[in-house]
Chains A and B, each alone.
Chain A
Amino acid sequence: MDAPLGAWFAREILIHEAALVRYLHRHWSKRDEIHDLRQEIYVRIYEAAAKSKPTSPKSFLFVTARNLMADRVRRNRIVSIESVGDIGDLNVLVDEVSPERRLDARQELKRLARAFDQLPPKCRDVVWLRRVDEISQKEVATRLGISERTVESHVLKGMKLLADMFLSGHTLKEIAELSRDDKTEFAKGKSGRGKQQTD
């Protein structure tokens, strides 16, 4: 893994994740596919940047997002009416979708705290003890009277939830709904349409 590229990716691309996810939600009616779409967009950008870094990362991110959605619409024969209709609107001004996130360190910290506070209580405790206080997994397990395995599963959950809240800007409730959608779709074995998103 290329460390400087990774740092660039975090600084220039991940910082726009909330805007990207909103954009995807607005134009892609299948909510269960958004997680996957987002990842594919990141893959495309990372691979392109490995060759040559784009001069305007944010524009490049949204252009990539738009192209990917268009590709998928073309590739899939069965497309919802909404999706097709929406593709026409994809040429939005990037600056409208993503007002530059120029938050100072304090505001960032506030956002982080808000995300952290939304974690389920158990998970929140484990994340604090492990990540902030850097108490060993074993000792956290002893202190909380749970197994090391359980501590680890809380850490895994905490990481994913924090990413979805802090980067994507989702609330815990939204995350729960989204993952439920995923599971239902998976169970049904078809890609039905998600409900209208709320933002």
Chain B
Amino acid sequence: MESSRQIEDRAAAWLAKRDSGQWSEDDERELQAWLSAATAHTVAFIRLETVWGEARRLKALGAGVPRGVVPPPNRWHSSSALERRDEPAPLRSRLSLRSWPTRAVAAGLVLAVATALTWYVASSRFYYRTPVGGLASVPMSDGSNVTLNTDSAIRLVVNDRIRGVELERGEAFFEVAKDAHRPFVVTAGNKRVIAVGTKFSVRRAGDDVQVLVTEGKVRLEDDSLAAAAREIAGTAEPATSAAQSGVDQTSHPSAVRAGDGGMLLIAGAVAHAGESGVLVQNVPLMEVDDHLTWRSGYLTFRETPLADAITEFNRYNERQIVIEDPAVAGIRISGKFRSTRFEAFVRLLEQGFPIRAQYGDGRILLDDAHDSGGREATSK
């Protein structure tokens, strides 16, 4: 006689098969025959079907988690998903996900190493991108979190040795969970930013990379500089020893040359790394935060030339704002603006400055209101 556990196994197999998407009329007939063969079959099936149906409700907890990403365990008992929800869901849904084709290597690794961690070699090869104006939060399996800004794309490679993020384009803010055994490495073209437990952002435009550190420290490595350094020095020094020696610490409090083309950046550092080298500025943390208000959907300007402000705005909107008059470009503006509400921004400009906007096809032209004999406006 079938044991109750055997029946349960059978019921689970039927249910899984029915869910697999390969379900024919013959299968259905067979299932019905199996179910009516014994009440024990029926009750076992109902029991599993009930739970399996319930499991779908977990979706409510995954609000904000992109499809294809498994939220880490024990993160939601205290999270807002389970508590009363007064706030509308964040803008996270504007995210699209494409699967990253799993390589044969990943499959081999999973077979070779049976630890729980290696699992992520295969499970975390995912690709994320945001459209223009999009904003997305990507929780990682190690507890770290990546916030993707407008028109950005990343690829995650997480395994038991490394937590890797490849910034394909755009900008991302990283909140890195501490894990001394697995460095957190962000690759942006030929530059690498390496962190252990810290918060920082990386913005990429081709090979130009901007790094902002708000907490802890990161190491910035440039492959092209490293190659040059090796040529000169013969062999490269290990990065850490040079960092500890504190070369250049006095002249650059927030940046330390770390050898091997590497540079140590601490909180408050804003580094611009381009073809010609790395420029590091040490700014008050509050100012660093100004650069990061995009995470809540805002752009913050402080006495920023309008031309620069418009460049920022244009990253977030398909419709581009174009400055026609150089006199307008030099106007300095301050304030906090919704990054995707460019119309409101343009209206404010028109109200506050002698600026006239013309709405054209796919773009907005800004002109000097005086030149074109427009209305009076108070100049700053």
Contacts and interface: CB of A to CB of B under 8 A. Distances in A.
B16 interface: yes
Interface of A: 1, 6, 9-10, 14, 35-36, 38-40, 42-43, 46-47, 106, 108-110, 112-114, 116-117, 121-122, 124-125, 127-133, 135-137, 139, 142-146, 152, 155-156, 158-160, 162-163, 166-167, 179, 182
A47 B36 CA distance: 12
Contact of B21 (A132, A137, A146, A159): A137
Contact of A121 (B20, B36, B119): B119
B99 A159 contact: no
Contact of A10 (B13, B39, B46, B57): B46
B43 interface: yes
The list of the 3 closest CB pairs from A to B, nearest first, reads: A145-B122, A145-B107, A39-B4
A144 B45 contact: no
A139 B101 CA distance: 10
A130 B57 CA distance: 13
B70 A124 contact: yes
A125 B123 contact: yes
B19 interface: yes
B233 interface: no
B52 interface: yes
Main secondary structure of the interface of B (DSSP, over half): helix
A112 B58 contact: yes
Contacts of B20: 137, 152
Interface string B94-115: 0000010111001101100000
Given A128-B58, A159-B12, A162-B55, A133 B68 contact: yes
A43 B55 contact: no
A112 B57 contact: yes
Nearest to A6: B46
Interface string B326-364: 000000000000000000000000000000000000000
A144 B50 CA distance: 27
Of A121, A137, A152, A182, the most chain B CB neighbours within 10 A belong to A121
A127 B68 contact: no
Contact of B8 (A127, A155, A160): A160
Contacts of B52: 131, 159, 162
Contacts of A160: 8-9, 12, 48
B276 interface: no
Interface string B66-99: 0110110110110000100000000000000001
Nearest to A155: B16
Contacts of A46: 39, 42-43, 46
Contacts of A159: 12, 15-16, 48, 51-52
Contact of A144 (B7, B36, B74, B123): B123
Contacts of B35: 1
A153 to B, nearest CB: 9
A143 B123 contact: yes
A182 B122 contact: no
Contacts of A39: 4, 7-8, 40, 43-44
Given A113-B77, A156-B9, A122 B119 contact: yes
Contacts of A129: 68, 70
A159 to B, nearest CB: 5
